[in-house]
Amino acid sequence: MSCEEKATQKLSERGFRITPQRRVILHILMHANAHLTPTEVYEEARKSLPSLRETTVYRTLEFLTQVGLAQEAFSKTSKSAYEISDYAHHHLICRKCGKEVEIPHVKMKPLCEDIETETGFQLMQNHLSFFGLCPACQKN
């Protein structure tokens, strides 16, 4: 079973419809090698669904995030960007060149647990993006 079939099966098992828009957007996110902004998803999705509206892409990305199949992150320009939510991780993002470094969630888990204990909040999204300058940009 492909990753897309697993994702659509999860939606179906939870009683959600598998619309052409959801299928195409899931496919795009699963095959992207980077975070994609809603506009980038829209531009790619229109190749398969020419009548697709950008508002549908925004709503679908929000839906996929709410059901845990996608997660919202931030691009180097601090705009919302999306990726498939197949494992928990975080990012370091260089403000100058856009380089990204992935941080495994296991390194951040104690911090998240402390935050929950101290505040009483239940964290719903375990995804953090830290912005700064990478070593190469610090030298310049």
CATH architecture of 1-86: Orthogonal Bundle (1.10)
Ramachandran region, residue 120 (left: φ > 0; alpha: ψ -120 to 50; beta: rest): left
Domains 1-86 and 87-140 share a fold: no
> Would you kindly state where each structural domain of the chain is located, as residue ranges?
1-86, 87-140
Domain 87-140 CATH (choose: 1.20.120.160, 3.30.1490.190, 3.40.50.740, 3.40.50.2000): 3.30.1490.190
pLDDT in tens, the chain (140 residues): 566 677 788 888 888 999 999 999 999 998 887 788 999 999 999 999 999 999 999 999 999 988 888 888 766 566 788 877 766 778 888 889 888 888 888 888 898 899 999 999 988 666 778 889 999 999 98
